[in-house]
Structure 1
Amino acid sequence: MDLEARSLQPSMKATLLAKLREYKTDLNNLKNEVKRVASANASITARDELLELGRIDSLAVSNDQKGRLLMTTERLNQSTDRLTNSRKTLLETEELGVSILQDLHQQRQSLHHAHKSLHGVDDNISKSRKILAAMSKRMSRINGLLAP
């Protein structure tokens, strides 16, 4: 989410980054609260006190916290889905890039082979031209000797 927010326009970026920081703070607070509740097993009296306080405020606080936790969880799930889709797109793009590079390599080899063949043909044409020139000279001499 952070990367997506940073890549947006400056007008939207600031608000989204502020919300993201708020969500991160909320998430860290919730994590700390979960750790405190989980570590309460070490101290049964502290747990009992928390439960008593929780009973007094439980409806107002827990509903608000549950709502925020559900919203945060939903946003995390959406971000996970986006990351999964991005990873799939990345892999498809990588496969396409590899395929293109293989095609380009094959085309390079074909061009290199054609270049070699062209040089071979050019050499053969040069040799043929020399042979024909020599034959033409010989024919001129023979014609010059035969024509009195």
Structure 2
Amino acid sequence: MATLVDNYEQQYAVLTADITAKISRIAIVNGSEKRGLIQDVDRQVEEAQELLEQMELEVRGMSGTARDRLRGRVESHRAELKRLTQEFQSAKRSKDDGNEEGLDESWDTSITIDQRRRLLDNSDRVERTGRNIQNGYRMILETEEIGSQVLKDLHDQRETIQRTRGRLRETDAELGRGSRLLSGMIFRALQQRIALAMVALVLIIAACFVIYYSFKSKG
């Protein structure tokens, strides 16, 4: 959620920097260009207010020190937007009053210098925000590259495991055939031993009969 608030703050910083730049131009242009700038700033001020409302909604869903810290930042942004709105109204009035009543040139110059200073400050902030966005994008690309490599490694490991599993199945099948073959050989060996035992028994019995009848005939 804090990341979402950070994204809102980045959008807000870019938006207020553009508003500041346009306010400084409103005081020095006329006609349709001025009307176009005024319409743009009106729309952008509304967008900035909507961003602040979104930030406030996100902050309300938080708890602990993070909520207090972000709430202070949102209040600071709202105070900044209020100041920009006042400058915007002043810029709209200053040009009209200057055309009708002829405002003092040094006063206009001081306003322009102050606006330029704020514009430079906001430009620096936008530049820092841009660098942060670029760094974040680079980190995302690096993370994506690492993730792709991890997925590739996992895919290779999966293929290795599948090949090993296939070899294990083949080994099990060979062991099964060998076991059946060995069981058959043992069974045949037992059959042969039984047959030999029976033959030996028959021979012993026959010998006993021969000996018996031999002694009987002598007696």
Q: Normalising to structure 2: TM-score of the pair?
A: 0.51
Partners in 1 of 2:4 and 2:122 — Cα distance?
15
**Hey, what does 2:135 align to over in structure 1?**
85
Residue 5 of structure 2 aligns to which amino acid in structure 1?
Answer: L
- Extract unaligned runs of 5+ from structure 1: 41-45
Q: In structure 1, what is the equivalent of residue 77 of structure 2? A: 20
Report the CA distance shift for 1:54/1:115 in structure 2 as closer, same or farther (over 3 A): farther
Q: Deviations over 1:81-110 (max 9, x none)?
A: 000000000000001111111111111111
Among 158, 166, 179, the residue aligned to 1:116: 166
**Aligned mate of 2:5, from 3, 14, 24:** 3
Do structure 1's residue 61 and structure 2's residue 93 form an aligned pair? no
Aligned mates of 1:140, 1:146 — CA distance in 2 = 10
Q: Which residue of 1 aligns with 2:125?
A: 75
Q: Which runs of 5+ in 2 are unaligned?
A: 10-54, 60-64, 201-219
- Is the radius of gyration larger for structure 1 or structure 2? 2
Alignment of 1:136 with 2:136, yes or no, is no
The share of aligned pairs that are identical, in percent, is 21
1:117, CA displacement in angstroms?
Answer: 1.5
Alpha-carbon shift at residue 65 of structure 1 (Å): 1.3
Superposition RMSD in Å:
3.0
Q: Tell me the alpha carbon deviations over residues 10-44 of structure 1, each in whole angstroms, 9 at most, x when there is no partner.
A: 111112123334555639x67xx6xx8xxx9xxxx
Q: How many residues align?
A: 133
Query: What's the offset of the Cα at 1:49?
Result: 3.2
Q: Distance in 2 between matches of 1:144 and 1:138?
A: 10
Amino acid at match of 1:83: I
Which residue identity does 1:13 align to in structure 2? L
CA separation of 1:144 and 1:96: change in aligned 2, threshold 3 A: same
TM-score, with normalisation over the residues of structure 1? 0.73
If asked which structure has higher relative contact order (CA below 8 Å, sep 6+), I would say 2
